[in-house]
Amino acid sequence: MTDAALATDLKRTPLYDLHVSLGAKMVPFAGYLMPVQYPAGILTEHRQTRTAAGLFDVSHMGQARLDGKDAAQAIETLVPADIMGLGANRQRYALFTNETGGILDDLMVCNAGDHLKLVVNAACKEADFAHLEKHIGNRVKFKRIDDHALLALQGPAAGKVLSSLDSQASSMVFMEGRPLKLDGIPCFVTRSGYTGEDGYEISVPVTAAEKLARRLLDHPDVRPIGLGARDSLRLEAGLCLYGSDIDTTTTPVEAALTWSIGKRRREQGGFPGSDVILQQLKEGPKRLRVGIAPEGRAPARGHTAITAADGKKIGEITSGGFAPSLDRPIAMGYVTVNMAKSDTAVNLLVRDKPLPARIVPLPFVPNRYKKA
């Protein structure tokens, strides 16, 4: 199939023409043509987000709402998170799990007052929406939000920038959501993101998405950012990428995501795979997701084998690359629990050569969320 034919099979977000006009390099991603980088390059875009503000198009992700008085209780039958205890205008990270404790997807759930708003991963959204309809469609009213785009404004200047369009943005704190009027456009905004920086995710009507994006890009502190820098930013922040760091073969405990399992849920269970997950919480898993710092300058990519000093394989890299903020390679992966302690020496088999590395704490770069 030619590149032109392939492109016709891919979806485009409402900001596609804007990306092209800004000189973006467009690539296939999760069934969409998405900007991987702009002319300034990935390193510049990464540093822009860490020092000022970057604007990301994440409209390929799935947005939906659940209506009904039973919505929180219903979705708790599918996730280990405490959704019934989620206060109004608060958002929580959650995981769809299966009967063996594996992760079907990770998502955000926001209590918007009279309904729940969901944001799921682009590659999983059709399966996620079918999963919701099949298992709780008889208890709640499920509706896709396909008429809204999704923008992410991330970085230390994000608060100042968004407050210039609606002063209420400045008073919001991490994982809070509320309706805002941004330059007169009605939007639903959460103070969240996936870079480790302060920032916002903005659900905006498709018809006004380009207008709002251009308005944000007019601010001197904002530049457009592509998928390349989004990946290096989330890796520095120690955040999982679904399909790489977490999938149906990993449990929340193995993935070091136990913080996402509510205290009440740990006591009561009642979610898919709860027997497996609660047993791992009690007894400990056999393997664990860890941070890894390769020595030298050579990066270790996904699927690189991790070995002990004696050459025995103890795990595998799931995400790896160069960290612009640290000027060195970093990685995440799974190792046997006996090798998961920080500062443990390991080897990474890069091109069949053992390169020395050490287990290190996550995140690699401290998070800078605006807490209450």
- Report the sign of the C-alpha dihedral through residues 109, 205, 187, 57, in that order: positive
Cα–Cα separations (whole angstroms), residue 344 to 257, 291, 300: 21, 11, 17
At residue 7, the pLDDT reads 59
3-state secondary structure of 75: helix
245 Cβ neighbours under 8 A, 6+ residues apart: 255, 289, 318, 319, 332
Q: Output the pLDDT for position 9.
A: 87
Consecutive 10-residue runs of the chain (372 residues): their mean pLDDT? 58 98 98 98 98 98 97 98 98 98 98 97 98 98 98 98 98 98 97 98 98 98 98 98 98 98 97 98 98 95 96 97 98 98 97 95 98 86
In-domain check, residue 347: yes
Assess if residue 130 is contained within a domain. no
Taking residue 182's Cβ as centre, other Cβ atoms within 10 Å add up to: 23
Is 0.85 topped by the overall pTM? yes
Residue 138 neighbours by CB distance under 10 Å:
8
CATH number at 318 reads 2.40.30.110
Residue 364 DSSP one-character state: S
Query: Is 331 domain-assigned?
Result: yes
Asked whether residue 290 is assigned to any structural domain, the reply reads: yes
In the chain, the number of structural domains is 1
Residue 75 forms part of a structural domain: no
Q: Which domain holds residue 329?
A: 286-360
Kindly state whether residue 177 falls inside one of the protein's structural domains: no
- Which string of DSSP letters, residue by residue, matches 167-216? GGGGG--TTBEEEEEETTEEEEEES--SSSSSEEEEEEEHHHHHHHHHHH
The answer as to whether 42 is a domain residue is no
Would 328 be classed as within a structural domain?
yes
**What is the pLDDT at residue 372?**
79
Give Cα 314 to chain centroid, integer Å: 27
296: left (phi over 0), alpha (psi -120 to 50) or beta: left
d(CA 257, CA 164) in angstroms, rounded, equals 35
What is the DSSP secondary structure assignment for residue 124, as one 8-state letter?
Answer: G
Nearest to 192 by CA among 163, 232, 151, 225: 151
Strand order in the sheet with 91-97: 91-97, 103-111, 115-120, 62-67, 141-144
In total, the chain counts a number of residues equal to 372
